[in-house]
Copies of this chain bind each other. A is one copy, B any other.
């Protein structure tokens, strides 16, 4: 019998998740049936979307999320023993899976592509769901053109920093908005963002007017709320907004912000939200392009790695509070 550690959703989050909301338990896994395989978690992901989806989850189930695991036993020839696999197996140290993608998020389960010497953990970040979120969500919805001005909020997060770098690759001027000067230094010095705004210490509206007097053409929005209204009020006619997330409101869905419709009408903005699974059929295109950019030295990445499966909850809360640089992952 294989035992698995599992975080169970015990209580619906109110505001920032609290330790008692998830409960760490141990459970015995059933023997494999035909078509199934056993996965041992190697890296687990903590992402903003987990907070967003939580209210839709029933109590008592393992908390949701993806992981890179290693296949320890298999009765499925497509998922052989010893291979790394990426899947939405939840917050579990061990899982029995069947390779189908019939999970809540409709995201694929797949053998990790060959990343060469790079860490398998990147399959949860720059070479996984967040990387594809940046690649498709920015390029397909913002449709950036060389010379345009792009603003990214949540710019130091897994998706945000990646979007800014793609915008630079595409010849755009890039302004990142994030919550600490350390993050800003990383964005500008290491990732070559043109400018950075610290929304905690600066007047975002004033800073945007100074840094982008030409107006903003594309906005990649990870945060929603007041920052987003401010950015949209500074956009050019026919600007495009890709809405990836709304982290500013995940802990309090009743939060209010200055209305966006005024900017949307007057500047004739096109604002579109997306969930990355709509591009499942192009999943490996995104991974391969991001991998190529890394190998060409055009795309950098950073991970905030927390050690220990039992520390997942802390890693999750710290990520929600903005403590991470780049992708937050947990090493099992």
Contacts and interface: CB of A to CB of B under 8 A. Distances in A.
- Interface pairs A-B: 6 shortest CB-CB: A224-B261, A264-B273, A246-B261, A265-B273, A256-B256, A271-B271
B52 A262 contact: yes
| Protomer copies | 2
A249 interface: yes
B257 A259 contact: yes
A278 interface: yes
Contacts of A263: 273
B267 A273 contact: yes
Contacts of A224: 259-262, 265
A163 to B, nearest CB: 15
A5 interface: no
A85 B270 CA distance: 34
Contact of A265 (B245, B256, B259, B262): B245
Interface string A233-245: 0000000000111
Contacts of A258: 253-256
Contacts of A314: none
Interface size for chain A: under 10, 10 to 19, 20 to 34, or 35 or more residues?
Answer: 35 or more
A272 interface: yes
Contacts of A246: 259, 261-262, 264-265
Nearest to A275: B268
A115 interface: no
A225 interface: yes
A52 B259 CA distance: 14
A290 B15 CA distance: 51
Given A225-B259, A257-B259, A262-B253, A273 B268 contact: yes
27 contacts: A221-B261, A223-B261, A224-B259, A224-B261, A224-B262, A225-B259, A225-B261, A243-B261, A243-B265, A244-B265, A245-B261, A246-B259, A246-B261, A246-B262, A249-B259, A250-B262, A253-B258, A255-B258, A256-B256, A256-B259, A265-B273, A268-B272, A268-B278, A269-B273, A270-B270, A270-B272, A271-B272
